[in-house]
Amino acid sequence: MKSLWNDNVAKTFTSDPLQLRVYTSRLLGQEPGLILHGGGNTSVKARAKNFFGDSEEIIFVKGSGYDLSKIHAKGFAPLRLEELKRMVTLERLTDTDMVRLQRLAMTDPTAPNPSIEAILHANIPFKYVDHTHADAVVTITNNKNGEALIRELYKDRVLIVPYIKPGFRLAKKIDEMTRNGDWNKFQGMILMHHGVFTFADDAQTSYERMIYLVSLAEDYLQKQGALDNIAKADSKEDLLTLSRIRRYISLEKGSAMLAKLDKSPEACGFAGLSNVESIATRGPITSDHLIHTKAVPVILGKNVEQEITDYSSSYKAYFDRNTDGHLTCHDLAPRWGIWPQHGTIAFGRSVKDTTVVSDIIHHTIRAIQWGEAIGGWKPLSEKQIFDMEYWELQQAKLRKDSISSELQGKVALITGAASGIGLACTEMLHEQGAAVVGLDINPEITQILNQQDMVGAHCDITDNRAVKKAVKMTIRCFGGLDILILNAGIFPDSQRIEDMDEKTWERSMEINLSSNQRLLKICIPYLRQGMDATVVFISSKNVSAPGPGAAAYSVAKAGQTQLARIAALELGCDGIRVNIVHPNAVYDTALWTPEVLESRACEYGCTVEEYKTNNCLKTEVSSKDVATLVC
């Protein structure tokens, strides 16, 4: 592992210890082998003036749940150092009281709750303290001979601390171990099954000690051949089964979930190991991951529904074995899965969730294989894992990020999404929590929709191969399909029947009718596996009240309406709802070019403004109005 310290950058912060703390915290956070998604914590001790102008010693501790890779000064909680140090002298302190006392010690009540390791940080007698969950180090501790291996590797450079649940008890234990000792003889601490602490009176030394200690662990694994002990294999694609897996997981969860498949050679190699069921179900790298991954994954095979049901039964039994009778069991759904020949799958309520879980999986499957190469993977015991999974202070992190949007976890596919009604529907579904893929013939769609959970795809819906590719992309991105909005269409130039050329007629039928039928046909197998699946056709008022010169458009939309009715009859037994809306006079869409507006106004013998407000309320209807009805 390489140091990212830059003297030129660091010297701009030398007069501000907190900003220097921010800088080195981000350096740690940029290395995923040290910290993942909100893990780890850092602190700095400094003097600051209080409201009355008196100088007092303050410790700035990373706020609970903050991501070190992006942290800023406001992400640190300022606490009076002496009050925090005194807490370790107490004989006992409940978690609830610890949080309360820590908040009472804060000098800024608007700051975030400090890390649960705040008391420990305060009692380490150095200005800068860094804590990570370094993969290489924790892998070595997660071994039946872990402590002996750590002692052999680091000699007297570090204090080795047996596993104790983080918080007051851990701080108390370390205080007892060091009360009559000399901190200066240590470069850091190794917490078994947990992580690494380093410390110093200057930021660079503390940071580079972390890099050094982790590098020693990496070098050890390299010499043992562990780093090269990573299985790899090719993947097979089965998107329909992936959508079934997502459905069964969602049903166990009680709400829609996204599924992110990793079919990389490493993921497929791990999933194909003959002993994968044994090694993957022993526990996580570190208990910090439990709030995202639960204790173990589901192992999938030929009967995915039964295997997910069996996982749920096993999880309930795990809860019953370990509960004290006062806890409430979480939902029974897994948060990740191992799918032999296909890879690994992350499950979550949002793209953010699946990204976090997927990143943790990537590091976990490597660490497990490293651990097997040096004597056997042996993480925490089941009881220790359970106590951390159901620890109130860990669950508080989840509640902080909890999301309850109406369509959270749903997946939507929308055509004609670059503008008008399609774009309005896309944005509204996204605001309500859905992950959305928008298709459009406009190549700018990929820039218009360019978020992780709102993806644009350039697609001509009359090209069946392109449409199939887009649907597959949707399933690969999010695991399934719940909402299909058929919106793409054209309004041909005004032509009376006797003057109409064949191309105008056929193009309208192809885009407004036939392409919708083909896309619906491709999507039906995935919609059957959706959660409360629904299809919405965006038709037109011209179906019931056509106008002269619009035969090509009106007839195609009438056919589309009949298609929707038959789809409702055929798909209702599968629980798929099919609805249709008939907008009228929605002029902020790509259909209504200035030329089309002018020609339609001429047909009615009125001005464009009169034509646009030709309704009882004499007002324009917007795309957003239609989207509100659809969504």
Residues marked active site are found at 553
Q: Are 343 and 264 in contact (CB under 8 A)?
A: yes
Q: Which of 429, 438, 491, 436 is nearest to 461 (CA)?
A: 438
Cα radius of gyration rounded to whole Å, the chain: 30
Q: For residues 416 and 422, give the distance between their C-alpha atoms in angstroms, rounded to a whole number.
A: 5
Q: Which of 198, 195, 171 is nearest to 24 (CA)?
A: 198
How many other β-carbons are positioned within 10 Å of the β-carbon of residue 248?
A: 22
The gap from C-alpha 481 to its chain's centroid, in whole angstroms, comes to 18
Per DSSP (E only), the strands in 452-497 are: 454-458, 483-486
Q: Are 54 and 81 in contact (CB under 8 A)?
A: no
Q: Which of 576, 546, 573 is nearest to 561 (CA)?
A: 546
Sign of the torsion angle spanned by Cα atoms 384, 385, 387, 392 = positive
Residue 330's contacts (CB-CB under 8 Å, 6 or more residues apart) are 294, 319, 389, 390
Q: Are 284 and 290 in contact (CB under 8 A)?
A: yes
Q: Which of 533, 529, 538 is nearest to 241 (CA)?
A: 529
Residue 519's contacts (CB-CB under 8 Å, 6 or more residues apart) are 415, 461, 467, 471, 484, 486
- Give me the sheet containing 195-200, strands edge to edge: 76-80, 55-62, 41-49, 128-132, 195-200, 188-191, 158-161
Rounded to 5 degrees, φ, ψ at 401 are -105, 10
Q: For residues 188 and 183, give the distance between their C-alpha atoms in angstroms, rounded to a whole number.
A: 9
Structure-token pair, residue 485: 């909005």
Rounded to a whole number, what is the distance in angstroms from the first to the last CA of the chain?
49
